[in-house]
Structure 1
C-alpha cells in the first residue's frame, strides 16, 4: 500500500509522485529576504521544533544521488549528532562484553566504554573524545540515547545509565560531571536515560529525576541540583521543551502520567493534563502551535488542548480531542511536526507516517513509504526536519526522503540511501537516530559510522 486516504478528509484525491516521475516545484522559495543559517546545537535543532533556517538546498534528489563528503567510524548508539561552528558532537558506546539484545521487557547486561566524541565538521577528523567505562543494564542496549547539547563554549552529554557531563567544546576538558543515580537518587528506566539535556539561562533541565521529582533543574556552571518537580513513579523518556506561554516562558514536561507546564525559575507547576501512555513510554516531545498543545504516546494515547488566559490571569485548559484507534497519531521515537494546522508524525503502533487535523484529530492520510518502506511495522520511524516548504525525513531504512508537506496526500520528491540500518527491532533492520542539519548538509549515524551528506544545490 502506497497511501491510505481517510473519509474524514474532504479534500479531493491526487496521486503520489514516484521517484521515476519526480518534478521540482518551480520557483520554490525557502526563505524570503536575509536568513542566517542555523547550527544544530541539540535535539531537533536550535528551536527544538525540527526547523532549519537555510537556503540553496536541493529540492529533489538528482539522478546521480547526493555527495557524501566523509564517513568516519563510530560505535553503537541511538543518540543523534549536534553541530556548532566547525564541530560535530556525538555520543556512542563501544561494547566489550555481553550480548546486546532488544527484548522489549528485559534488561540486557553489557560492559564497555561510553563516549562523547568530537569531529571536525568539514573533514570528519577526530578532534577529541571523552570516554569512561560503563555497564548497561537496560533494554535495547545499543548505546546512549540523548543528543548532546551545545551552549556557548560548553557541551552537555547524558549517557544511558545517567552519566551527565559538561565539557569544553574546544578541548574536551571536563568542567563537571554527575552520576544521576548516586547524586539524585534516580533509577535507570527500563530503556535507559533518554532526556536530551536542555540548557537555558544558567540551568540544565532533564526528565531524569527520582520519584519525588521527575523534572530536575541543575546549575549550569556546577551541575548541582537547584530544584525538582513533578513527583511520579517513573520519569519517562521525553525531552524538556521551552515554550513562550501566556504569562511568560514555561517548560513543557511530559512524564508517564501527564503533560505539565512548569516555571523554569522555581519549578512551580502551572497546570497538568493527564496522559498515560503504555509502559511509561512518554517519549515524543510536546508540540505547540499557537495556543494548542499536542502530546501522544503508545497505546492509542494522545491529547490536543488549548491554553487560554482567564480573567484572573491564570491559564485555562480546554481539551479539544483525545486519541482513539481511529483518530490522532500516537508517536514515540520520532516527535511530530505541526505545520499549518496539520500534525505530521509516525504512528508507533502501525508504523504509518500520518497527517492529522490538529484541532479535530481527524486522520487525513497515511503512508508507509517514508517509515518501513512498504508494510505495517511496530514503531516504524521517520525523523522529521523542515527547511522552507520541504520536509527532510530520515527513514529507519537509512534513506533521506524529501517530502512536500500537504494535507491532502503524501508527496515524495526523492530519496537517497545514506546508511545501512545496523540495528534491529521487531524482526526488521532499523536505524533509529535523529540526524543534524547544518552547513547545507545532513549529519547522520548508525551503529558503525557517522556521515556527512551535502544538500546544497
Structure 2
C-alpha cells in the first residue's frame, strides 16, 4: 500500500501573504484617517506600490527555480545573478548533504523546496549489464525536502518491483507546475501530488491502464507540462504519446504506434508561430499538434538498440537530433509540413549524444559523444568536428558513454561530469577552456566497468543541487 509522511511546514506563499496582508492593513488604516482626498490618493498609491514590489519580488524569486528537467524552459540555461565566475582555491561551500536512496532522477527546486525520486531496495541485486535485466523488490519514493537544510517536508512511496536493465532507481526528474508535482517512475507509475502537502491528486499505471511494456532501460522521459496538459511517453497500442489533463488526469488524446516506446522526453517547440510537440520513438521523429495529437509530420530516424534518448535541439529553422549508431541529423523545418534533412552525421565526424543533451551556440553544437567519450564541438554548417577533448570528463581512451551535463550561465558553462565534478568552462568553436573544477559527489554507480554518476543536477537558489545513489548535496555558487 502507498504510504506518505508530512512535516507541518508553513508554506512560503502563506508567509508572504501574511506579511503583505499586515502591511496593507496598516496602510489602509492610515488611509482612513487621511485628512483630505489628496492624502487618500497618496495612500492608495503606496498600497499599490507595495503590492507591486512584493509581486515583482516573488516573480524574481520564482525565476530562480529549477522546476523540471533541464530548467524552467528546458533550455539548459540558468539566469541567476551574483554567481561565481571562478571557484575559490579552498573549494566551493557545501551547504548540506543528506542521505537518499537509489536513483538517476535529477532534483527539481521550486519555492525553496527540493523534489526528487529515489528507490528503497528490499531484495534483489542490481547488476548493470546493458544486455540484461535485474529483478529487485522495493519502493519508489517521491520526496519533498527543504532547500534550506535538506530536511524532509513530506514523502510518498509505493511498492514497485523492477525488472529492467540498470535497475538502480527511477530515471525521470519530477516536473513541478502550478502547485502540483508530476512524477514518473521507472516502471510507468505516473503520480500527481500537491506540491505543498504531498497529497495525491491522481495517478496512472501505464502497464495496467495502457497495456504498455516497460522499456528495457525503464521509463526515462521526464513528463512535460504545457498549458492545461501533461505529456508523457506511455507505450502500448496507439499510445506512444499521451496527453493528460494536468488537474484531473483525464486522457485528452493518445497518438502514435510502435513496438518500442523509447526514452526521449516530449519536447515543445514553436515554429512560425505554431506550437509543435516533438515525440522521438525508436523508428521516427514525429511532430504533433499538442491540442489534438494530430501528426503534422514524421521523419524516419532509427538509433541502435531502440535508444531514442536525446531531445532534439532547435536553432532557428533547424533541429539537431542525435543518437547511438551514427544517427545524427541537421533537419530543416518547413512549418508543419514535412521537413528535410540538411545533412546527416558521418562516423567520427559529427556529434552523437545519448546520456546528456547537447547545447547550441550560434553555428556550433557542443556535447558528450557516446562513441568516443570525448567532449566535442561540431560545426552545424557541415557536421564536421571542430575539436574534441577528454579534459571535461577525464575519460579513458575507451570510455564510451562518458557523460557531462551542460548548463549555460551568462558567458560561461557549468559542466557536471560522470565523475561527480562540477566544471566551470568557456566553450568556443576554437577551444575548450577550463576555468575551475570542484569535486561534488562520489560516482557511486557503475557502467561499463567504471564508477559513474548519471544524474542531471539542478541550479537554483544560487546553488547546485546534485545527487548520486547515496546522497543529495547542495553547493553554494554565490559570488
TM, length-normalised to structure 2: 0.86
- Mapped to 2, the partners of 1:152 and 1:205 lie a distance apart of 15
Aligned partner of 1:390 in structure 2 is 412
> Aligned to 1:90, which of 116, 119, 128?
116
- Mapped to 1, the partners of 2:441 and 2:467 lie a distance apart of 7
Question: 2:250 aligned with 1:198, yes or no?
Answer: no
Deviations 1:350-372 (A, max 9, x none): 11111111231111111112224
Deviations 1:250-294 (A, max 9, x none): 111111111111110000111122110000001111110111101
Equivalent runs, 1:53-68 vs 2, <5 Å? 53-68=79-94
Higher radius of gyration, 1 or 2: 2
- Mapped to 2, the partners of 1:40 and 1:167 lie a distance apart of 18
8 Å Cα contact 1:368/1:376 also seen in 2: no
Classify 1:435/1:166 alpha carbon distance in 2 versus 1 (closer, same or farther; 3 Å). same
The answer for unaligned runs of 5 or more in structure 2 is 1-58
Q: CA deviation at 1:316?
A: 4.8
Deviations 1:53-107 (A, max 9, x none): 1121111121000000000100000000000011000000011100101111111
- Mapped to 2, the partners of 1:47 and 1:372 lie a distance apart of 30
Question: 2:283 aligned with 1:257, yes or no?
Answer: yes
Equivalent runs, 1:410-429 vs 2, <5 Å? 410-429=432-451
> Aligned to 2:140, which of 104, 107, 114?
114
8 Å Cα contact 1:255/1:282 also seen in 2: yes
8 Å Cα contact 2:374/2:395 also seen in 1: no
Aligned partner of 2:27 in structure 1 is none
**Which gives a bigger RCO, structure 1 or 2 (Cα 8 Å, sep 6+)?**
1
8 Å Cα contact 2:123/2:138 also seen in 1: yes
Q: CA deviation at 1:211?
A: 4.0
Aligned partner of 1:123 in structure 2 is 149
Number of aligned residue pairs: give it. Answer: 420
Aligned partner of 1:377 in structure 2 is 399
Equivalent runs, 1:340-419 vs 2, <5 Å? 340-419=362-441
Aligned partner of 2:48 in structure 1 is none
- Mapped to 2, the partners of 1:380 and 1:269 lie a distance apart of 35
SS in 2 for 1:124: coil
RMSD of aligned alpha carbons? 1.4
Aligned partner of 1:10 in structure 2 is none
Aligned partner of 1:306 in structure 2 is 332
Q: CA deviation at 1:227?
A: 1.3
- Mapped to 1, the partners of 2:430 and 2:234 lie a distance apart of 39
Deviations 1:10-33 (A, max 9, x none): xxxxxxxxxxxxxxxxxxxxxxxx
The answer for unaligned runs of 5 or more in structure 1 is 1-33
- Mapped to 2, the partners of 1:228 and 1:328 lie a distance apart of 34
> Aligned to 1:165, which of 191, 203, 209?
191
Aligned partner of 1:317 in structure 2 is 339
> Aligned to 1:145, which of 154, 158, 171?
171
SS in 2 for 1:222: coil
8 Å Cα contact 1:195/1:208 also seen in 2: no
Deviations 1:291-336 (A, max 9, x none): 1101111111111111134xxxx53523111122132111111011
8 Å Cα contact 1:302/1:330 also seen in 2: yes
Aligned partner of 2:350 in structure 1 is 328
- Mapped to 1, the partners of 2:110 and 2:434 lie a distance apart of 30
Deviations 1:103-127 (A, max 9, x none): 1111100011110111001111111
8 Å Cα contact 2:373/2:395 also seen in 1: no
SS in 2 for 1:371: coil
* Stretch moving more, 213-222 or 438-447: 213-222
Aligned partner of 1:22 in structure 2 is none
